[in-house]
Amino acid sequence: MSAALQAKALLIRAVECDQSGRILEAQTLYQDGIAQLMTFVSTEPDEVKRKGFLTRIKEYMDRADAIKARVNGQLMLGEIVTHLSIEENDTGYDYDQIFGKYMTNQTIEIMLEEPYLSQNYQYQNLIRFLELAVTNCTQLKYVRLVTKKDAANPEQQSTNLGQIKADLERRQISFYIKYEDTLHDRKIFLSNGYIIKIGRGLHFYKASNPMYSIGLTNYRYRKCLQTDVDIWRTSRIPN
């Protein structure tokens, strides 16, 4: 496919997603489509066509900015619906029990801001979260992961996340990875309007000790690290 056709295909999908409320995916597609348009606009010899492209790029940038404002607006506004303090060495908490009920078939998009993904147990936590998402959010179409680049082992990280992406795409779920090296806060944004903020993000479990003991696979039996959980509901909940 030529760069122009690729750009067109991306932007058509962007508009479709935008119109059907899949704003996170639309945002990604606008960005990718604009970047693709940019690559050949400067090499276009016909000045009229070039100006035409630039006008279109400006339009799509405006749409992308409008979406960004909507996403940020949703992240800023809202009321707190649940607060939970997990104490050091507490047990009884797994993702499903803490926030599974907010992950519903109304959740078609998820943005996960999780700065640390470099250790085995961190990838395992990511999979555990995605398994819950796949199980509960039956209409899930898009997951955006925002994380830090693993400075020590960037290739391993890229391989692991690439395999997760391929796996989700076999389930018709787009997976978009954004590296952001200044990221600190952890946040899970669900498109049904809930935002889950956990001080330690997904990584609030202690290792099972000894390894083969109750709690190795069922995390309700795992000891936790101290952390706070706040669950927010934005003003734009559909139902």
Residue 169 is a binding residue for a second copy (CB under 8 A): no
What's the length of the chain? 239
Give me the residue label for tokens 């003003």: 235
Q: How far is the CB of 163 from a second copy (least distance, A)?
A: 4
Q: How far is the CB of 130 from a second copy (least distance, A)?
A: 6
Among residues 167, 179, 200, 230, which is the contact residue for a second copy, using CB under 8 A? 167
Report the 10 Å Cβ neighbour count for 125.
21
Give the residue with the Cβ less far from a second copy, 81 or 214.
Answer: 214
Q: How far is the CB of 217 from a second copy (least distance, A)?
A: 5
CA distance 145 to 179: 8
Tokens of 149: 């680049």
- From the list 3, 210, 206, 224, the residue with the least C-alpha distance to 93 is 224
CA distance 40 to 192: 38
Question: Residues 107-146 vs a second copy: string with x where CB under 8 A?
Answer: ----------------xx-xxx-xxx-xx-----------
Bridge partners for 130 per DSSP = none
Binding site for a second copy (CB under 8 A): 123-124, 126-128, 130-132, 134-135, 160, 163-164, 167-168, 171, 210-218, 220-221
